[in-house]
Amino acid sequence: MIDTMDLLVHAALRFTAAVEAGILLADDAGVLHVVGSTSERASDVEETELGAEQGPCLDSYRSGQSVETPDISAAADRWPIFVQVAEQRGFRSGYAVPLTLRGQHLGALNLFFDRVHALTDRDAAVAQALAEFATIGIVQRRALQHHADRAAQLQHTLTSRMLIEQAKGALAFQRSVSIDEAFDLLRAHARGTGARIRDVADRVVNHHLLI
């Protein structure tokens, strides 16, 4: 994901008039983080946005709309801290594009320019295309991670179930009781010791625990 975001911000420089670019992504709690930038000065400005909670990228993320800043100095009343740092880093205008899908806000792509009114219609179209590409990549990655997590949970459940069945069989043999009675012994021991039934089963099967 980090490599993909890095490729995207550098593509923004290659195919638009932007001199720097960066991407912010929201975590599961909705907190934004810088995940890609073309330079330290771009990172500085974006970190300033996050720290001061003001700036075009934040507004774009929150609203789900593109935010054009044709003259950064003219936005001093709106984003005083952001404007101060952006101008110190040599930026004169900017363009922020949200990463959204079906109403879900994922982050934003930020383009910075070294002159005012630099954004062209072509630049805006390219930025939108890059933002859509980034959104697709993020959603696909999260979907894969979700499926991987579910598969791991299922495998853990199946392994636990097999372990418990083995423990029931071992106890039934050791104590000459039925399978149901063996499970009652497992459960009673788990409750009495404050352990999980799976852990008790593991000790019965792999560590020869006698109940």
The domain that holds 92 is classified in CATH as: 3.30.450.40
Residue with tokens 């593991």: 202
pLDDT at 1: 64
For the record, the structure tokens of 116 come out as: 């005012």
Greatest mean pLDDT among 25-34, 130-139, 151-160, 191-200: 191-200
Residues 41 and 134 both lie in one domain: yes
Please report whether residue 175 resides in a domain: yes
pLDDT at 113: 97
pLDDT at 46: 92
Domain count, the chain: 2
Q: Are 182 and 201 in contact (CB under 8 A)?
A: no
pLDDT at 154: 64
- Its domain, for residue 109, covers 2-143
Please report whether residue 28 resides in a domain: yes
Within 10 Å of residue 31's Cβ, how many Cβ atoms? 9
Identify the domain boundary among 91, 122, 143.
143
Identify the domain boundary among 121, 143, 165.
143
Residues 66 and 159 both lie in one domain: no
Residues 94 and 196 both lie in one domain: no
Q: Which among 101, 148, 104, 133 is positioned nearest to 1, based on CA atoms?
A: 133
Residues 120 and 201 both lie in one domain: no
pLDDT at 140: 72
Please report whether residue 211 resides in a domain: no
Please report whether residue 190 resides in a domain: yes
Residue 178 Rama label (left phi>0; alpha psi -120 to 50; beta):
beta
Which of 104-108, 147-151, 168-172, 175-179 has the weakest average pLDDT?
147-151
CA 31/CA 49 separation, integer angstroms: 12
Identify the domain boundary among 89, 120, 143.
143
pLDDT at 90: 94
Residues 99 and 113 both lie in one domain: yes
Residues 154 and 174 both lie in one domain: yes
Question: Any idea what the CATH number is for the domain that residue 174 is in?
Answer: 1.10.10.10
Question: Under DSSP, is residue 11 helix (H, G, I), strand (E, B) or coil?
Answer: helix
State pLDDT tens for residues 28-83.
778 888 888 888 889 899 999 999 999 999 999 999 999 999 999 999 999 999 99
Residues 106 and 162 both lie in one domain: no
Q: What are phi and psi of 69, to 5 degrees?
A: -120, 85
Residues 176 and 202 both lie in one domain: yes
Residues 179 and 129 both lie in one domain: no
Q: What is the mean pLDDT of residues 11-33?
A: 88
Residues 132 and 165 both lie in one domain: no
| Torsion sign over Cα 79, 85, 88, 90 | negative
For the record, the structure tokens of 159 come out as: 């392994």
Confidence of residue 148 (pLDDT cuts 50, 70, 90): low
90's enclosing H/E stretch is: none
| Partner residues linked to 113 by β-bridges | 93
pTM of the model: 0.66
The answer on pLDDT for 116 being more than 70 is: yes
pLDDT at 40: 85
- For a pLDDT cut of 90, what percent of the chain falls above it? 46
Please report whether residue 101 resides in a domain: yes
The answer on pLDDT for 135 being more than 90 is: no
Residues 6+ apart with CB under 8 A from 17: 113, 118, 119, 120, 123
pLDDT at 20: 94
pLDDT at 143: 65
**Mean confidence (pLDDT) of the chain:** 87
Please report whether residue 116 resides in a domain: yes
